[in-house]
């Protein structure tokens, strides 16, 4: 992949590939290990941090950009999802991607497609309950991408904590050899977790959105002060959200970080998480307790 090996200060355009056939051909001779960063585009600093980690650990870095219709449970959300290929290629190139795979829907789901990858109980609560079909759409497309790329490692952000657990479970269950790696949430200076959806917030909603992080920090503070009751910790999150009129909570959770079952008492590690709507924009965030 000499074409895209970054030299000092160089800004290289990654090689763009749009078909399964061309991807296989390019990867047949690519230096290994391969690091994969699957994305839906609208790249931001959070994605760049995944790419930089992949760059540091791989001889070839592949990013995929595919707004996957199967994981949107609302058509309007799919249609409004931001798309900007030129900006994505610039960010991907700067962060060190060699190959960007940008397939069409027909390329990912060939004519007659009829396979669905569904993980069990882990997909039932939280995002699974709030967005029916969403996680099935994610596991189906991620399984396809992992099979097509055959990377040694694939990088996912911690912001989608349930997605990460579910993808790990799937890779383990199906014997997919790619190691699934988690990268920390990247935040704006005011604490808002970076997300492609942030750009759809109005200025008023954007100003209110750090309440997600603030509510998690309030629960963390209560936990550190000795509160171990799961419902009290969920209530601490809800109380902060309730003070922000633009924020409409969808769920608030204090769950076992392995099974994602809600906890009555926190006696070991726990995952605080939430989904909140600001008008038509839905944001998520989380905070693992030690
Ligand atoms: O996290 C995302 O951006 C998507 O869910 C993923 C993993 C790229 C699958 O479409």
**Average pLDDT by stretches of 10, the chain with 290 residues:** 46 91 98 98 98 98 98 92 96 98 98 98 98 98 98 98 98 98 98 97 98 98 98 99 98 98 98 98 98
pLDDT at residue 12 in the model = 79
CB neighbours of residue 25 within 10 Å? 11
Tell me the CA end-to-end span of the chain in Å, nearest whole number.
Answer: 41
pLDDT at residue 1 in the model = 46
CB-based contacts of 286: which residues, under 8 Å, 6+ apart?
A: 158, 159, 161, 185, 216, 271, 272, 273, 274
Cα 138 to Cα 71, 113, 234, 237: the distances in Å are 6, 16, 27, 28
Return the ligand 1 atom nearest residue 196 CA: 3
CA distance 204 to 114: 43
Regarding pTM above 0.85, the answer is: yes
CA distance 205 to 212: 12
Closest protein CA for atom 2 of ligand 1: 39
Choose the residue to mutate in 142, 151, 161 for probing ligand 1, maximizing ligand atoms within 8 Å of C-beta. 142
141 lines ligand 1 (CB under 6 A): yes
68 lines ligand 1 (CB under 6 A): yes
Return the ligand 1 atom nearest residue 64 CA: 8
CB-based contacts of 71: which residues, under 8 Å, 6+ apart?
A: 133, 134, 135, 136, 137, 138, 141
| Ligand 1 centroid, distance to 40 Cα (angstroms) | 6
160 lines ligand 1 (CB under 6 A): yes
142 lines ligand 1 (CB under 6 A): yes
Domains of the chain: 15-183 (3.40.50.620), 196-289 (3.30.1300.10)
The DSSP element (H or E) to which 21 belongs, if any, is helix 20-28
40 lines ligand 1 (CB under 6 A): yes
Peptide bond into 33 cis (omega under 30): yes
pLDDT at residue 8 in the model = 44
| Ligand 1 centroid, distance to 228 Cα (angstroms) | 33
CB-based contacts of 265: which residues, under 8 Å, 6+ apart?
A: 228, 229, 230
């Amino acid at each position: 992949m000499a074409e895209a090996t970054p030299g000092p200060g160089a800004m290289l355009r990654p090689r763009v590939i749009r078909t399964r056939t061309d991807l296989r051909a390019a990867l047949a001779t690519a230096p290994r290990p391969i690091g994969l960063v699957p994305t839906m585009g609208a790249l931001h600093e959070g994605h760049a941090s995944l790419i930089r980690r992949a760059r540091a650990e791989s001889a070839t870095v592949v990013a995929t950009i595919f707004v996957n219709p199967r994981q949107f449970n609302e058509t309007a959300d799919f249609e409004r999802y931001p798309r900007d290929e030129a900006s994505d290629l610039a960010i991907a190139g700067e962060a060190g991607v060699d190959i960007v795979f940008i397939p069409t829907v027909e390329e990912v789901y060939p004519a007659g497609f009829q396979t669905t990858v569904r993980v069990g109980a882990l997909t039932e609560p939280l995002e699974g309950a709030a967005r029916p079909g969403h996680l099935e759409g994610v596991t189906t497309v991620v399984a396809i991408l992992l099979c097509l790329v055959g990377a040694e490692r694939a990088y996912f952000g911690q912001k989608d904590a349930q997605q990460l657990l579910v993808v790990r479970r799937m890779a383990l269950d199906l014997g997919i050899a790619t190691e699934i790696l988690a990268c920390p949430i990247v935040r704006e200076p005011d604490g808002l977790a970076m997300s492609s959806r942030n750009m759809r917030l109005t200025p008023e909603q954007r100003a209110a959105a750090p309440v997600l992080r603030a509510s998690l920090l309030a629960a963390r503070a209560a936990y550190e002060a000795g509160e171990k009751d799961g419902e009290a910790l969920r209530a601490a999150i809800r109380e902060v959200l309730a003070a922000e009129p633009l924020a409409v909570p969808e769920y608030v959770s204090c769950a076992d970080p392995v099974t994602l079952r809600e906890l009555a008492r926190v006696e070991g590690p726990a995952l605080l998480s939430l989904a909140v709507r600001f008008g038509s924009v839905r944001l998520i965030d989380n905070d693992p307790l030690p």
